[in-house]
Structure 1
């Protein structure tokens, strides 16, 4: 999602469409009873949220790894340019969209969370202050890490890539920092780095090509670990944190690899079109979904199905409309979407 490119493979854009719809659906429902639609923890809506929790952002990250692998840097001479490009693409939207979100949360009645004004000093340091935007920080750290591995030559060979990926998988299970030390979403970095490297390897080394048996085994493994994860959630298994992370990781890896390998089966032009706006939808969907929920409830609409449909339509549709209407202006193109400045404000494609 965070990588700016227009891959020739339309199925990758379709995957982006799938991933962004799953992400918006999760945020419309809400991560807890006090967020989103305010559904009860024992409702089918909560189950739907939890059922896809291990797949949503890992799928986005695998796609970003795939796209980066199309044009990886070759040496440290390329590193400053990459760092500047990713700072523009990820950190500028972090600041601008983050500030907009902060202002709206403290000024608009009916929002699910209302930060204190003095929290602004920590707004861009700790991820729990700005909801979904933690992903931008984590991805910035991931790009810097993988680019450094490329510059050093570590990931230029299949063996080096495999060692780096296995190391990231181990860190995923073994390392978490307390929330008080989760500066710049380092926990998100630990969680998503292996998925970026997996996406990198899937493209660069074609590890899924010509291995139908391996793909089938991966799908069966996903069904097995996903079933175990679901049973454990329903029965409230009290697993040790690292055991729980092993299950989470197994579901995420087998799930996203299965989806990636089957991407040509869901290659659909409308989904690919939505996928072309995925970064803007990711950044701005909360404004549309939250505003539509507040308005719907003010109109007396309380049915969960209606709130979900309205939230999805607004969360996906309004950011697309925003990009189509205002994306031609550099103020929006650069300042909100993090794109490279154009020489003029002429109309242009806003796909990401």
Structure 2
């Protein structure tokens, strides 16, 4: 891959993490984040953010995974240890810190009970649900690559269709009654998008060389905009059906985004700290809102901009600070 392609992926990574931060500042519903109720424009903005933020983040992870040719000689155990250090160790360390800060600090949302703290290591916990989900996705991808189930576009398509079916079963069928141990439901939901990232890297020539293919991808991707309008303007059964179809329009959208050649220095810089921002932005989104309200600032726009700034720049500073200590770097950033 050339330098420009790498820069474009880093740009997308920077955009994706900023969308994650802004989405968490706003809050997924009227009871969280800034407690903004319908029909405020920021709630409409969140519909757009929620549509793309985690699928894009996951597709980028798949693209980066596929950069390095698969080699079974390195061993499954070695692969799992590396991913556990990168994902699960910070999940435990940062998740514990976040739980305790949220428990002790006045004014935070959704406080937990100390007697229930063990649950954050077993079940999805706030923003950290994604880390065990991504770990499981990496394990599945390694297992499939070890059996050469994704070494051609045709094999990839079969695997992606199966992943799509499981992701939809995850949303509408019996899995609702199954405990979400280790965020496996999140892994099922995000797995097709990881596969998209893998394919966008491995099969780029066959995917993007034909104009007809690009036109079909664009046409289906544009339907995603229609689905989002249905979700916003027609809540209820129509919205539920539209959200069920999200993956159908998201997959071509992600293919087109990953093929983009555009890059931006600011987003590239932010993208370099994306993982640290993901780990620590929750402290900034909550802390920023609380500090501003203590200062008597209740206006929505200043809170949105200030909390977003704090939640983005704060983790960058934490990254630089923790990077100076081998122990802190390993525990809180997942780096050796």
User: TM tier, shorter chain?
Assistant: over 0.9
Correspondence for 2:25 among 21, 25, 28:
28
Task: Report the 3-state secondary structure (helix = DSSP H, G, I; strand = E; otherwise coil) of the residue aligned with 1:17.
Answer: helix
Q: In the alignment, what sits opposite 2:255?
A: 257
Correspondence for 1:270 among 260, 263, 266:
266
**What stretches of structure 1 move > 6 A for 4+ residues in a row?**
none
CA contact (8 A) 2:227 2:243 kept: no
Correspondence for 1:197 among 184, 195, 198:
195
Q: What is the CA–CA distance in structure 2 between the aligned matches of 1:77 and 1:252, rounded to whole Å?
A: 33
Q: What is the CA–CA distance in structure 1 between the aligned matches of 2:211 and 2:311, rounded to whole Å?
A: 37
Q: In the alignment, what sits opposite 1:215?
A: 214
Q: In the alignment, what sits opposite 1:323?
A: 319
The superposition leaves residues 166-191 of structure 1 with CA deviations (integer Å, 9 ceiling, x where unpaired) of 11111112234226511111111111
Task: Report the 3-state secondary structure (helix = DSSP H, G, I; strand = E; otherwise coil) of the residue aligned with 1:178.
Answer: helix
Q: What is the CA–CA distance in structure 2 between the aligned matches of 1:106 and 1:141, rounded to whole Å?
A: 29
Q: In the alignment, what sits opposite 1:9?
A: 6
Gaps of 5+ in 1: 1-5, 341-352
Q: In the alignment, what sits opposite 2:334?
A: 338
Task: Decide which structure has greater helix share.
Answer: 2
The superposition leaves residues 257-276 of structure 1 with CA deviations (integer Å, 9 ceiling, x where unpaired) of 232222x12x0111101100
- TM-superposed deviation, 1:155: 1.4
Q: In the alignment, what sits opposite 1:301?
A: 297
Correspondence for 2:170 among 170, 175, 197:
175
Q: In the alignment, what sits opposite 1:344?
A: none
- TM-superposed deviation, 1:280: 0.2
> Does 2:156 correspond to 1:161?
yes
TM-score by length of 2: 0.93
CA contact (8 A) 1:229 1:247 kept: no
The superposition leaves residues 8-58 of structure 1 with CA deviations (integer Å, 9 ceiling, x where unpaired) of 711111111010011101001001112111111221111111122121000
Which range is displaced more, 26-35 or 323-332? 323-332
- TM-superposed deviation, 1:245: 4.6
Which range is displaced more, 302-311 or 77-86? 77-86
CA contact (8 A) 1:173 1:245 kept: no
Q: What is the CA–CA distance in structure 1 between the aligned matches of 2:162 and 2:233, rounded to whole Å?
A: 31
CA contact (8 A) 2:230 2:242 kept: no
Q: What is the CA–CA distance in structure 1 between the aligned matches of 2:113 and 2:226, rounded to whole Å?
A: 41
Cα separation, partners in 2 of 1:302 and 1:42, compared to 1, 3 Å: same
Q: In the alignment, what sits opposite 2:131?
A: 136
- TM-superposed deviation, 1:295: 0.4
Gaps of 5+ in 2: none
Q: What is the CA–CA distance in structure 2 between the aligned matches of 1:179 and 1:26, rounded to whole Å?
A: 28
Q: In the alignment, what sits opposite 2:65?
A: 68
Q: What is the CA–CA distance in structure 2 between the aligned matches of 1:163 and 1:231, rounded to whole Å?
A: 30
CA contact (8 A) 1:149 1:155 kept: yes
CA contact (8 A) 2:207 2:213 kept: yes
The number of residue pairs the alignment matches comes to: 330
> Does 2:103 correspond to 1:106?
yes
Cα separation, partners in 2 of 1:202 and 1:188, compared to 1, 3 Å: same
Q: CA RMSD in A?
A: 1.9
Cα separation, partners in 2 of 1:245 and 1:33, compared to 1, 3 Å: closer
Q: What is the CA–CA distance in structure 2 between the aligned matches of 1:240 and 1:156, rounded to whole Å?
A: 37
Cα separation, partners in 2 of 1:240 and 1:322, compared to 1, 3 Å: closer
Q: In the alignment, what sits opposite 1:343?
A: none
